[in-house]
Amino acid sequence: MSDRPLRIALLTHSVNPRGGVVHTLELATALHEAGHAVTVLAPAAPGQRLFRTPPCAVELVPVHGTPRDTVEMVRSRIAAFVQHLRGLLRHERFDVLHTHDSIGGNALAQLRDAGDIDGFVRTVHHLDTFDVPQLTQWQHTAFASASRVLCVSRLWCDHLAREYGIAAHEVTNGVDTTRFSPQAQPADAALAHRLGIRPDAPVVLALGGVEERKNTARLLSAFALLRATHPRAQLVIAGGASLLDHSAYALEFQALMQALGFDEGPLQPVRLTGPLPDGDIPALYRLADVVAMPSLREGFGLVVLEGLASGAPVVASRIAPFTEYLAEDDVSWADPLDAGSIAAALRHALSTRDPQRIARSASRLAQRFSWQASAARHVALYRAAKQETEACP
């Protein structure tokens, strides 16, 4: 396939700012800037648009109706992708079709089985545990049917090798240091006022909404312990747009918040912002006195890089993948199963905050993890996968 620019289709599962979607758009931008012809495909209900517009081509895959449950939602989106791609492939040719989730993976698996495409690439960010067998089957099909599997950390490469005998390739995330910076902006104070973030108290920021995987309830318990020494501290939890149903866990979180005596809202001890405009996120990091990521399971943990690049100290779980790429003094470490340990890490981050040390960590990590390097690694693997496919009789 020589060194000519590639025609690449990148599939993602949502138009909302979830980690895998952010990864897709950052990768698309870096590939586009490197001279490749990129098309991003994302399912969208009427009136929806991607939370961020990339510089490359975009195909919004129409989805309609209100699914009764997650299974119906996933099934309908797989079917929508299949239908849309069949139409697109009549007049477009792609060297690479690359999906970042199970919805796109199952659609591409169906197209491959029908002879519409030769194969596809799948990135596994992380795997979930489902109570519904159909969701488990779809998740497995999406990576087991791929011509080449990529993972964003060694943790998940090892998991796929150990559990499924799949030799995945590690391709890490990056961080955009032009977007995330500690340099205060005039709009920062306006955002704090609009969201009701306290200007006179330590702000603990968590991104990703209220989810079991994010360990949000245990973070809330840790926050209650932190308030013993920082009584005016505020916990800000941003984001939460997800295709999965986290309502049961959200109810547990609400019950715990009530039991702890915390009010939620602007200027209250707990502030749940919900999904925010993409342009607000850099300022939100700068408003934080500490970014908390005591997750139970992550693919890579992009929030850590973004928080450090924004000048905020970070609390992270002492588990992989964080332990793969973070040095001991890059963050304040916590046992994610122990609220006391998380609280101690929050106190440590607040009491030892050192802008110069954070800047050194951020600089070192940014040199190691860039979207340009990630894009170059993707292209090398794309070309190798294409050559292998063309060599098969």
Residue 163's Cβ-count burial label (10 Å; 0-12, 13-18, 19+) is exposed
Whether residue 174 contacts residue 373, with contact meaning beta carbons closer than 8 Å, is answered with: yes
pTM of the complete model beyond 0.75: yes
Q: Is there a common fold for 7-174+370-391 and 186-368? A: yes
Chunked mean pLDDT (size 10), the chain, 393 residues: 87 90 95 98 94 96 91 95 97 96 97 96 94 96 97 97 98 94 94 94 95 96 97 94 77 96 97 93 97 96 96 98 97 98 98 97 96 97 82 58
- H or E segment and range at residue 388: helix 371-391
CATH homologous superfamily of 7-174+370-391: Glycogen Phosphorylase B; (3.40.50.2000)
Per-residue b/e over 56-93, b at no fewer than 16 CB within 10 Å? bebbbbebeeeeeeeeebbbbbbebbbebbeeeeeeee
Cα dihedral angle (317, 319, 325, 326), rounded to 10 degrees?
A: 40
Alpha-carbon distances, residue 166 vs 89, 140, 142, 170, 208 (angstroms): 29, 11, 13, 12, 29
Backbone region of residue 311 per phi and psi (left: phi > 0; alpha: psi in -120 to 50; beta: other values): left
Q: What homologous superfamily is domain 186-368 in, according to CATH?
A: Glycogen Phosphorylase B; (3.40.50.2000)
Q: What is the pLDDT of residue 393?
A: 54
Res 18: pLDDT: 82
Rounded CA-CA distance 38/385 in Å is 17
> For the chain, what are the domain ranges?
7-174+370-391, 186-368
Reduced to 3 states (helix: H, G, I; strand: E, B; else coil), residue 243 is coil
| Structure token digits, residue 5 | 């620019």
**Any idea of the CA torsion for 45, 46, 50, 51, to the nearest 10 degrees?**
-90
Helices (H), 196-273: 216-226, 247-259
> Apex CA 384: angle with CA 383 and CA 386, to 5°?
65
CA distance 358 to 355: 5
Strand pairing category for 203-207 and 290-293:
parallel
> How high is the pLDDT of residue 388?
74
d(CA 2, CA 283): 43
Q: What is the pLDDT at residue 390?
A: 65
Task: Please give the Cα distance from 324 to 318 (Å, whole number).
Answer: 10
Residue 258, helix vs strand vs coil: helix
Residue 19 confidence (pLDDT): 82
| pLDDT at res. 1 | 46
pLDDT at 385: 83
CA–CA–CA angle 212, 218, 223 (5° rounding): 135
Rg (C-alpha) for the chain, rounded Å, is 21
- Residue 42 pairs in a beta bridge with 60
Positive/negative CA dihedral, 96, 177, 280, 311: positive
